[in-house]
A and B are shown apart, each in its own frame.
Chain A
């Protein structure tokens, strides 16, 4: 290495920081102007029926709703945008500091086994969720018997039902058939048999079943990431190794695939970033909606009591009676959620976030019941850094002997 290279690297990094700040300012300053001055003026004039007609039309309930409500919505949107923009700036700087490029971040050559292990864990978890309904919580109602006035099909359901254009609301036989199809595809995908086809089948059927279940007036967050993960795996090469497909290829005398490949990382990275975005969003919502009041022990005491009493979780009721203990839990939860993008950007931190994340969701389930078991399984998308850390630990242990 010549002496000029580090100087070049430092200069490049400085230029990248400057470019990031410039782009950030170019985007954020106009937003602030809009959200603080132009937007409120537009809303006020539209409310009086003097401004943009589309806005006046959008304020359909303005006879009953005071202007302050619309201004409050804009204010909350402003806070969410600014908090997200702050996150983009901070984590953008970490990106530059770590020296990431798009090619290295998304398409670095990666052991094929990582993606195959992720397939096995994610599909195994989804099979468990499909086969043991109580895993997701409440005893389920027979939705095919529910009054039609509750039925409001999600866009996702309409899209997935498109091949069956004659079906408006799936009946029990169709849903049962879809469930059987999901389980058959899931077992095939777990074994890696016709992996891509079976994964597309599993992703289609699982998304359809969940979207149908969420088309009756309520939805939950527990399955959203799992559905995205199944589709990401379906379009990846996760059946190249640790699969029956690989055995069949070998038995037919075809050359084994390379151990490393550049297209094995993006599905894992996609889910890692989905984790980062959704945790960050959860933290921002707490800061925007709850403010500093969210960190008072009474907030978690309220939620623990509400859920635990409905779901009969004694630990949650016990903790709800001890509000003085809860502020540290609140602070740690929000810090974990806010900082989660570091798990993606700084590989050596990932294992700590994964360990905390699994304990966090397990704790949440034990205390007050939200069943994020899918999320716990999905932490397998950090398998690359976990395996590297475990290998490093083994090396240290060997040297110690």
Chain B
């Protein structure tokens, strides 16, 4: 082999080794684009549950279902948005905004910044799905109010 071929092989060896290290050591996204591939790798059995969450905002005096807010409305990445909804829902329906509730606080500030201060309430609605022995049990379970809190940046709240 020529020196050039050896040099190319050395570079290729480094590239493939970095990929191998990333996937064996589980380096997450640190070495992107050399990444491990653990997605969809955990087992789930009958009884596993997950939720599909929906964020709604309401203005003072509105009696309807409110307006559905999606991730582009808050300029947040899709899975980050889902993560925030999930984290916020874990506080249960407190009715207010606890100090350590970072997810709901972040959602509140994004709502104020991107949708304006006219909205005074946020609601998390949840559909809970369950996997049974033979698959998804109910494809259209009832939607329920999981949490509601007052938006601290709303115009009326400031007043």
Contact = CB atoms under 8 A, between A and B. Distances in A.
B19 A277 contact: yes
A103 to B, nearest CB: 5
Interface in A224-267: 224-225, 227-228, 262-263, 266
B62 interface: no
A305 B80 contact: no
B80 A81 contact: no
A94 B5 CA distance: 23
Nearest to A140: B72
Contact of A102 (B1, B33, B45): B1
Contacts, number: 194
A141 B77 contact: yes
B24 A80 contact: yes
Interface stretch (B46-54, B92-100, B145-153): B46-54
B5 A103 contact: yes
A141 B131 contact: no
Interface string B88-111: 000000000000000000100110
Interface string B36-52: 11111111111010101
Contact of A309 (B8, B39, B42, B129): B129
B131 A277 contact: no
Given A141-B72, A224-B35, A273 B16 contact: yes
A296 B43 contact: yes
Contacts of B143: none
A106 interface: yes
Q: How large is the interface on A (under 10, 10 to 19, 20 to 34, 35 or more residues)?
A: 35 or more
Contact of B77 (A150, A293, A322): A150
A294 B43 contact: yes
B80 A106 contact: no
Given A141-B76, A298-B131, A298-B133, A293 B43 contact: yes
B37 A278 contact: yes
Interface in A95-145: 102-103, 106-107, 138-143, 145
B20 interface: yes
Contacts of A207: 33
27 contacts: A77-B24, A106-B8, A138-B78, A139-B72, A142-B75, A150-B76, A150-B80, A217-B79, A218-B77, A219-B29, A266-B12, A273-B16, A277-B23, A290-B42, A293-B45, A294-B42, A297-B134, A298-B46, A298-B133, A299-B44, A301-B135, A301-B136, A302-B48, A302-B50, A321-B136, A323-B131, A323-B133
Given A106-B8, A278-B37, A306-B50, 16 more contacts: A77-B25, A80-B23, A80-B24, A141-B74, A142-B72, A147-B106, A228-B15, A266-B12, A278-B19, A282-B41, A285-B36, A289-B43, A298-B44, A298-B131, A301-B131, A320-B131
